[in-house]
Amino acid sequence: MLTFISPIPIGGPNVKCSKNSNPLRILSAHDFPDFLPKQIDKIKDLYARKMASRIERIPVNFSKGCVMSSCVKPKEQKEANPVVLLHGFDSTCLEWRYTLPLLEEAGLETWAVDVLGWGFSDLGRLPSCDVASKRDHLYQLWSTYIKRPMVLVGPSLGSAVAIDFSVHYPEAVDRLVLIDASVYAEGTGNLAKLPKALAYAAVYLLKSIPLRLYAASLFFNGLPLSTCIDWTNIGRLHCLLPWWEDATVNFMISGGYNVIDQIKYVKHKTLIIWGEDDQIIDYKLGVRLYCELQNATLRQIPKCGHIPHVQNPDVVSRLIVEFVQSDRSERPKPDSVSTISVPVITSTCTSRHVAHPICGNRTS
């Protein structure tokens, strides 16, 4: 099913807590774990500060050794399968600062996990950060701490992480949520062939504030400059850890993610969420992904860019909750309104026996 979701104003700093939520208080430097860069105290975003105070490191033993791995653990364990939030390329669990609290308020057991090589894990004894190592690390974290099939949520390159993981370890996954998925790139391409000196130069540029500011302007539409600067500082906070450059170069020269040939093997029920105004990845690739997956639903959010869970957390959280609860006995009747109380329009591409103009698949 391909549907369109009416827009809700940009969430960001203006996202609202429910009346049952604890009000956000101003956190001091003493409230943050000591392994975070000290620049965390300069972040103004209260939701980022609150989530940063919840980040902890847990030991994960995998093929490359033991890594104290950063994550945000759920406040309580539920009977239903947990939601596990990944992040995009060269990012951290702080991507979920607005959406994770909303998922928790909806009653979902929610983890936010840093992918090996990014985030705030302790990589002092640098392990390999290639795709196989990232996959093994996530599996060992899951098998040690989570131990139940999970709703695995991957935004941007995190969608490639999720697809790769679900194909190799289908028993660990209940269903998938892919957000503005970056799954059709052929790895890191020519960057994998760079001499190490040039690779480090490229990574140094990747950390630079001007480049990150420019990226933020592409990710988000109409963002005030002060917010753009603060979000840029949040997005590059992990780059200040001493091993970040080595880990990023390691991933770059390893070849990165190429999951194009794995998509057809995904068996899990999948929700695809796409920002209509994504300036990074063409929406046609979202439709292609929808056509190539065996059991997928595509929901589009108008007036939203590449990172909907930051820009429109209310919509994203409600879509995830609706998707997670869709098979439960208490789900609404077929003719009732969905948990998102906004108009939903079915695209003509899902009409019976009509071939989709992009991928040619027929729907019924």
Please report the DSSP string for 244-313 in residue order.
Answer: HHHHHHHHHHHT----GGGGGG--S-EEEEEETT-SSS-HHHHHHHHHHSSSEEEEEETT--S-HHHH-H
> Mind listing the pLDDT tens digit for each residue in 203-239?
999 989 999 888 888 888 678 889 999 999 999 999 9
Q: What percent of the chain has pLDDT over 70?
A: 82
Residue showing tokens 């539920």: 78
Contact 57, 14 (CB under 8 A): no
Lookup result for tokens 């899902």 = 350
Please give the average per-residue pLDDT across 180-205, as a whole number. Answer: 92
Residue 250 has pLDDT above 50, yes or no: yes
Residue 103 scores a pLDDT above 70:
yes
Q: Does the annotation count 356 as an active-site position?
A: no
Q: Which amino acid is at 295?
A: N
Instruction: Report the C-alpha dihedral over residues 32, 35, 37, 38, rounded to 10 degrees.
Output: 50
Q: Is 112 helix (H, G, I), strand (E, B) or coil?
A: strand
Lowest mean pLDDT among 187-196, 210-219, 323-332, 339-348: 339-348
26: confidence class by pLDDT, cuts 50, 70, 90 = low
Tokens at residue 236, please?
A: 């590059």
Query: What are the residue ranges spanned by the domains of the chain?
Result: 38-326
Q: Kindly tell me if the per-residue pLDDT of 357 is higher than 50.
A: no
Confidence of residue 165 (pLDDT cuts 50, 70, 90): very high
Residue in 156, 159, 166, 254 annotated catalytic:
156
In the three-class reduction of DSSP (H, G, I as helix; E, B as strand; rest coil), residue 71 is classed as strand
Q: What's residue 126's pLDDT?
A: 79
Active-site residue (options: 278, 309, 317, 356): 278
The structural architecture, per CATH, of the domain 38-326 is 3-Layer(aba) Sandwich (3.40)
Active site residue 278: yes
pLDDT band at 342 (very low <50, low <70, confident <90, very high): very low
Q: Two tokens at 129?
A: 């950060």
Contact between 356 and 349 under an 8 Å Cβ cutoff? The reply is yes
351 has catalytic annotation: no
Residue 136 in contact with residue 127, Cβ under 8 Å? no
Annotated catalytic residue within 137, 238, 268, 306: 306
Degrees, nearest 5: CA angle 281-283-286: 95
pTM for this structure?
0.84
Rounded to whole angstroms, the Cα distance separating 306 from 154 reads 13
Q: Is the pLDDT of residue 135 over 90?
A: yes
Spatial CB neighbours of 113, under 8 Å, sequence gap ≥ 6: 69, 71, 84, 85, 86, 93, 138, 141
Min mean pLDDT across 10-14, 219-223, 282-286, 300-304 is at: 10-14
pLDDT of the residue at 216: 85
- pLDDT mean across residues, the chain: 85
